[in-house]
Amino acid sequence: MQPATGPLRGIRVVEIAGLGPVPYACMLLAELGADVVRVDRPGGGTQPLPPDRDVLHRSRPSLAVDLKSPGGRDVVLRLAGTADVLVEGLRPGVTERLGIGPDACCARNPRLVYARMTGWGQDGPLAAQAGHDINYLGLTGALHAIGTAETPVPPLNIGADFGGGSMFLLVGVLAALLERATSGRGQVVDAAMVDGASSLVTMVHGLLAAGLWQDRRAANLLDGAAPFYGTYACADGRHVAVGAIEPQFFARFLDGLGVAEGFPGGQDDVARWPEQRARIAAAIATRTRDEWAEVFAGTDACVTPVLGLTEAPHHPHLAARGTFAAGDGHPQPGPAPRFSRTPAAVRGAPRAPGQDTRAVLREWGFAAGEVAALEDDGAVVQAG
């Protein structure tokens, strides 16, 4: 791994390997400078991707531990004893049964921030039930508000998994570390995707309470109903995104389309929105996506091309900012946000489960003889 340069240098994190939100959050912690070690199952368990393609596992080493063995349990407890943060995303009660729950770890290290990521939370009627992003979004009302008038459409898995999950886990970890600086004590962070996803639609709840939002899809300012906030098909079948909310931007948009003269109704004339949308759609359908991008380039009409995943890294703005990092011939999003003195950085390619077992244990204070004994006992495994 490359040396840490980010603002979290000196923070030690133990990651109990999981799926989705946990590895993403820990990848960000590592690229912000934390010393993160990923604790994998021997062999990696069920991996959705080949190890060298799972970019969420980049920037940190992997240690393979048999958590069901007494020796493996003791390894994790010893790591937790000198760590600042432990992150786990198993179902409620699993780490307790393994002997590495909050009580056991915090008894070793009262300053430990023990961060727990689940879908439904550590308690409540659904706590032990399985689920995925779409389920958490569905229960919060967020999914109900996204999609066409006919059906809800899941926004990939960024709403609950990564937005409501990873990001709120990170907020919790960083807040707990900040509080620890004055109290000297760690605490348990219960990051539930259902809580985070619900928080993300706080503004919509405010609009609903004020009578400015209808509790149905494709009927509101930001859900595709407004003709000045949505996507339109172009002559080549590709699309442009329009976000001309402010009146001056909307006026520039209509001028660029060439439809300002005789345009039906005003911008806030909701009853005429369907007619306005049809007029705009007909105009946009006369040119290709890239032709419209050229028409609106350098203007404040708030019109941009809808780029494919393979196109985005090559856009001049993203290329100039270095938004994407080179990753084995396949561009990957780089770290965010940016720092003036302590830049975050991708610190290495994804590591296979257990690829760094011996090196990690030595770095975290295990003697060579201890590492050999743990390997002989099967408590830890060095891959390759």
Instruction: Characterize the bridge pairing of strands 380-381 and 62-65.
Output: antiparallel
Could you tell me the pLDDT band of residue 48, with boundaries at 50, 70 and 90? low
Enumerate the CATH 3.40.50.10540 domain ranges in the chain, comma separated: 12-200+326-381
Alpha-carbon gap, residue 267 to 227, rounded angstroms: 9
Residue with the two structure tokens 């959705």:
48
Kindly name the residue from 161, 195, 223, 356 that is annotated as catalytic.
Answer: 161
CA angle 161, 132, 136 (to 5 degrees): 75
Task: Indicate the average pLDDT of the chain.
Answer: 96
Q: At residue 292, does pLDDT exceed 80?
A: yes
Categorize the per-residue pLDDT at 16 as very low, low, confident or very high, splitting at 50, 70 and 90: very high
Please tell me the predicted confidence (pLDDT) of residue 329: 74
Tell the CATH topology of 229-322. Answer: formyl-coa transferase, domain 3 (3.30.1540)
Query: In the chain, which residues fall in CATH 3.30.1540.10?
Result: 229-322
Cα 327 to Cα 22, 31, 135, 272, 332: the distances in Å are 21, 14, 32, 48, 6
86 close to 113: Cβ distance less than 8 angstroms: yes
Share of the chain above pLDDT 90, in %: 94
DSSP at 26: H
Lowest mean pLDDT among 15-24, 78-87, 162-171, 324-333: 324-333
d(CA 330, CA 138): 33
Is 70 exceeded by the pLDDT of residue 195?
Answer: yes
Single out the catalytic residue among 54, 132, 144, 315: 132
Q: Report the distance separating Cα 334 and Cα 346, nearest Å.
A: 7
**Mean pLDDT confidence for 290-295:** 98
Residue 47: what pLDDT? 63
Structure tokens given for 361: 């244990």
- Flag whether pLDDT at 53 surpasses 90: no
For this structure, is 161 an active site residue? yes
Average pLDDT over residues 78-96: 98
Reported confidence tier of residue 328, pLDDT bands at 50, 70, 90 = confident
Question: pTM value?
Answer: 0.95
Residue 176 pLDDT level (bands cut at 50, 70, 90): very high
Percent of the residues in the chain that have a pLDDT greater than 70, as a whole number: 99
| For residue 154, cis peptide bond before it (omega within 30 degrees of 0) | no
For residues 105-112, give the mean pLDDT: 98
- Could you confirm whether domain 12-200+326-381 is CATH 3.40.50.10540? yes
Under the banding of pLDDT at 50, 70 and 90, the label for residue 343 is very high
Six token digits for residue 153: 């459409």
Mean pLDDT of 346-351: 94
- pLDDT surpassing 90 at residue 44: no
pLDDT digits 0-9 by tens, 202-260: 999 999 999 999 999 999 999 999 999 999 999 999 999 999 999 999 999 999 999 99
Residue by residue, DSSP assigns 181-200 as HHH----EEEEEHHHHHHHH
